[in-house]
Structure 1
Amino acid sequence: MATASFIVEGMSCDGCVSAIKRALAAVDGVQETDVNLANGEVKIEYDPQRAGQSSLQNAIRGAGYDVS
């Protein structure tokens, strides 16, 4: 397993957190997602054989948020 951490811009409520968790759950290989609304950080545990950081970032962007 690998861990990735991203700063996500544009989150403002629990609905945002849910949207990001749903988007990441749809990525093959994602095992666990922790979204911290207060500091805008998303931590993801994933299988690097099945998912890459770019696919994780694309899922977050696809949910309508900016990733840095």
Structure 2
Amino acid sequence: MATTEISFMVEGMTCDGCVSSIRRALAAVDGVKSTDVNLATGEVKVEYDPAQAGKSSLQNAILGAGFDVG
């Protein structure tokens, strides 16, 4: 099973609770293997299985958690 990594710039993160919310939202997407959320830079890296998830489903998870994806 091949995995792919993608990065997003996320706006609106202000605290560790925001980081946890994004991690939880992405973990709920089928195919997500790992997430790395950097509060200081606003960058979110996601490793996922492209056979199960796509860029739009990952972006929608972040948007659904209440954050803007740049």
TM over 0.5: yes
- Runs (4 or more) in structure 1 with deviation over 4 Å come to none
Structure 1 residue aligned with 2:43: 41
- How do residues 9-48 of structure 1 correspond to structure 2 at under 5 angstroms? 9-48=11-50
Unaligned segments of structure 2, at least 5 residues: none
1:53 corresponds, among 46, 52, 55, to: 55
TM-score (norm 2): 0.97
Q: What is the RMSD computed on CA atoms of the aligned residues? A: 0.2
Structure 2 residue aligned with 1:62: 64
TM-score (norm 1): 0.99
Sequence identity of aligned pairs in percent? 74
Task: Measure, in 1, the Cα distance between the counterparts of 2:6 and 2:46.
Answer: 5
- Work out the number of aligned pairs and report it: 68
Match of 1:28, SS state, is: coil
Structure 2 residue aligned with 1:2: 4
Match of 1:44, SS state, is: strand
Match of 2:56, SS state, is: helix
